[in-house]
Each structure stands twice: as C-alpha cells, then as structure tokens.
C-alpha cells in the first residue's frame, strides 16, 4: 500500500525539550521532500507547528483536522491547505484516521495517547488495517512499549499489539516504514 497521507499525533506543548522539536522538524522536512501530505491536528503550537512548518517549507500539502475548541481559542495554523472542522476530539480522531494512510505518534501527552489507542483499538476489532508507528525519540515511548509486552504476557491482548502499533527507534527506521 502506498502511504501518501501521513497522519501525525504529537504534543501541542511549547515547553518540551528541544530534541523533540528537532525530530519533528526533521520528519516534516522529509514529508515535504517526499511529496507526502501531512494530516494533523491543525494547531499552531508545539510539535504540531514544528512538523507542519517544516513540511510546508519543503513542499507538503497540509490537512488540519481542527476541533471547535481549537478554533474558538484562535490556535489554528495559518499554513493549512485543507481545514476539516471537527466537532470534538472524537470527531477529530475519526476524520484523521479516515484521511491518513498511516499514523505516526511523535512524543506527546494524554491527547496523543488517546489518539494512539483509538487507532489501535479500532484496528484490533477490524474497523481498519491502518497502523500507528511510535517514533521513539530519545526512548520516549519505552515504558509504554514495556506495558504492551506485559499486556501480551498476561493475555490481555488477543493478538500481538505489534499488529497495530509499530516502533521506530531511529529516523531511518521510521522513514523506511513510511516508504514501504
């Protein structure tokens, strides 16, 4: 399957370590150079803004899926080529999943976790066959990955979690997965 629309889940925080922003910008630049669409939350803050600016500067088209609350707070990116209006976060997740070929989770907080689990849970019961790739920048996702192993060991997962959630520890691993 060709992956031309890459969904990105990530932090909207501007208060995180610089390494995360650097890696988001590196990914955004790669998306642009490889003529990929960026499908993301449409915010002008944090890693969302970093990946979007780099992608746009390098030629990507940007599709923002923007919930009403984000619009009301005036935090919508001015870079968007397509702006999908989402009623709430559930609507946003469904629209992003509908539009993207694959999802990549950069470091993020509770919202990013919600997005990861939404995609994986719906894949696990057959609603789609799309994957989430955890971009494990600086070991950010290590504890979650260990937890996934525990779920499998204790038989709380009916199928291997890696059927739905993949891990890329390096930029090269990530881009290799996106180029398949």
Return d(Cα 152, Cα 113) in angstroms, integer. Answer: 19
5-178 CATH fold: Rossmann fold (3.40.50)
CA angle (43 as vertex; 42, 49 as ends), nearest 5 = 100
pTM score > 0.85 for this model?
Answer: yes
Beta bridge partners of 84: 65
Which tens digits make up the pLDDT trace of 9-39?
Answer: 999 999 999 999 999 999 999 999 999 999 9
Domain boundaries, the chain: 5-178
Q: Per-residue DSSP letters for 92-123? A: HHHHHHHH-SEEEE-S--HHHHHHHHHHHHHH
Residue 21's nearest CA partner among 109, 137, 113, 145 is 137
Residue 78: the pLDDT is 96
Residue 113: the pLDDT is 98
Return d(Cα 64, Cα 152) in angstroms, integer. Answer: 35
Residue 1: the pLDDT is 61
Low-confidence ranges of the chain (pLDDT < 50): none
């Amino acid at each position: 399957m060709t992956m031309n629309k890459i969904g990105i889940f990530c932090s909207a925080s501007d208060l995180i370590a610089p390494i995360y922003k650097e890696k988001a910008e590196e990914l955004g630049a790669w998306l642009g150079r490889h003529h990929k669409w960026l499908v993301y939350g449409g915010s002008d803050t944090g890693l969302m803004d970093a990946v979007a600016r780099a992608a746009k500067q390098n030629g990507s088209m940007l599709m923002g899926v923007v919930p009403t609350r984000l619009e009301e707070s005036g935090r919508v990116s001015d870079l968007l080529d397509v702006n999908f209006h989402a009623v709430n976060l559930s609507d946003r997740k469904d629209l992003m999943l509908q539009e993207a070929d694959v999802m990549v989770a950069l470091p993020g907080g509770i919202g990013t976790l919600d997005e990861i689990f939404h995609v994986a849970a719906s894949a696990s019961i057959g609603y789609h066959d799309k994957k989430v790739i955890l971009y494990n920048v600086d070991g950010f996702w290590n504890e979650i990955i260990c937890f996934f192993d525990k779920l499998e060991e204790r038989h709380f997962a009916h199928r291997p979690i890696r059927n739905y959630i993949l891990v890329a520890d390096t930029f090269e691993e990530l881009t290799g997965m996106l180029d398949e």
